Amino acid sequence: MNALRVAWSATDVTAKWSAIDALIPCYLGLHEEDTLLLGEAPPCARVGRPVRPVCIPPADLPKRRAVDREGRAALLHAIAHIEFNAINLALDAAWRFSSLGNRFVRNWLGVAIEEAYHFRLIHARLEALDYRYGDLPAHAGLWNLAEQTADDVLARMALVPRLMEARGLDAMPPIFRSFQAIGDKPTLRALAVIARDEVRHVAVGDYWFRHLCQSGNHSVETTFRALIKKYNAPWPRAPLNEAARRAAGFEQDELMALRG
């Protein structure tokens, strides 16, 4: 599937979009009985991404509040950065862990296609403010986790979709309130699409994490907590978006444990 390799490697934003578009027929036509010859994925550090934004430590990023044009742009840029990384994360999972089978590959290709749509929605809102992706600094925390889990699909499923992307579900209500306060209806419509789809993306990761735990006879909750500790990943912050997390597959007992 050369289209996947091209999409993973594309560095320019427009080239990434075009490559994702070219993946759609492959995604729609992929069946479980098909034979995929993807080859070994390159090191995560070689993934295609633009020269900008410049990545700095998360603690050095200014706080983002949608109270003025610059604040709105900063918040939208942060969301765009998350979505661009999410494209690469989904493509990387599909390629790097393709030995799990065509259903796994198809799941993550579908996620990549939707993440690219999310990026376009947010980038359009940035452009309305005369900004572009790359104009502001960002951080590489999410992709750093991808590099750390390149040889462990169980850890990847735990720490990327089930931890970091689920934290995105928790962040969505206050982000909505920020844009509601200024009456930015076009951005709210874009965020509504993203909020809906991200529940499904977390659910994909939750499904495969549970599948892998079951295959290895591991406890879901104990393994999840152990992997967070092993990789020194950030613990979920309160308040949790429990409705979205339940819709994505989290069970009530686990949510209670995450609340501490």
Summarize pLDDT for 128-176 with one digit per residue, the tens: 999 999 999 998 888 999 999 999 999 999 999 999 999 999 999 999 9
Single pTM value for the model: 0.95
Chain mean pLDDT for the chain: 93
Residues sharing a CB contact under 8 Å with residue 162, sequence separation 6 or more, in sequence order: 202, 205, 206, 209, 224
| Structure tokens that stand for 236 in this block | 């979920």
Quote the percentage of the chain above a pLDDT of 70.
Answer: 99
Q: What is the pLDDT of residue 35?
A: 72
- Per-residue pLDDT for 49 more than 80? yes
Q: What is the pLDDT of residue 162?
A: 98
| pLDDT one-digit tens code per residue, 113-126 | 999 999 999 999 99
Average pLDDT on 178-199 reads 96
| Structure tokens that stand for 207 in this block | 């499904």
Q: What is the pLDDT of residue 59?
A: 78
Class of domain 2-28+62-259: mainly alpha
Residue 12 CB-half CA count within 13 A:
4
DSSP of 29-96, one letter per residue?
A: H--TTS-----PPPPGGG----S-SPB--GGGSPP--TTSHHHHHHHHHHHHHHHHHHHHHHHHHHHH
| pLDDT one-digit tens code per residue, 147-156 | 999 999 999 9
Q: How confident is the model at residue 1 (pLDDT cuts 50, 70, 90)?
A: low
Q: Are 133 and 126 in contact (CB under 8 A)?
A: yes
φ, ψ at 226 (rounded to 5°): -65, -40
CB neighbourhood size of 180 (10 A): 14
